Amino acid sequence: MKNKIFLFVFFISFFSQSCNDRYRNETISFQNYLSNTFKQKIPEVEHIYLLVSRFGCPNCIDQALIKISEKTVNKQEIGITIVTYDTTLVSKTFIKRAKILFDNNAEYETILPIANLALIKTERGKISKIKILNLDEMEKIIGEEF
């Protein structure tokens, strides 16, 4: 009986740990990137990073940032950081609500392939979700996340 209980507890802890580590490699890479490039770390509180692609559609990026800005206008509790290679892509109204990190080499694109915008949601110092914002799903993803 003790063996069955031990095995049950072992499997529960194993599976809960593997669920929590879904983005383990990406978390390590992103944490190293933030640390090496900006001397920052993934916060413990829930946070959203928006990574702007160098090879995306500028109009699509602009539309997505405008929609996100509109959704977050009254939600100051949402921590948002935009990581971009070009600060002119970020509207002035959004700059007031988000932290902007400038990386002219776009080193973040070595962590994951990006088309237009990538949304990285973090919690407790780890990545909990990664979404690529493309035209087809942009409205849905922005609605769900903000």
Q: Give residue 28's pLDDT.
A: 96
User: Out of 45-59, 65-79, 103-117, which region has the weakest mean confidence (pLDDT)?
Assistant: 65-79
Closest by CA position to 101, among listed 52, 43, 55? 52
Residue 76 reports pLDDT greater than 50:
yes
What token pair was written down for 124? 């407790």
- Residues 6 or more apart from 111 whose CB is under 8 A from it? 26, 29, 30, 33
Q: Are 81 and 98 in contact (CB under 8 A)?
A: yes
What token pair was written down for 63? 């539309």
Residue 36 banded pLDDT, cuts 50, 70, 90:
very high
User: What CATH fold (topology level) applies to the domain 23-145?
Assistant: Glutaredoxin (3.40.30)
Q: Are 128 and 23 in contact (CB under 8 A)?
A: yes
Residues 145 and 31: their CA atoms lie apart, in Å, by: 22
Q: Give residue 114's pLDDT.
A: 86
Average per-residue pLDDT for the chain: 81
Q: Give residue 93's pLDDT.
A: 65
User: Out of 7-11, 45-49, 83-87, 104-108, which region has the weakest mean confidence (pLDDT)?
Assistant: 7-11
Q: Are 93 and 66 in contact (CB under 8 A)?
A: no
% residues pLDDT > 70 (the chain): 85
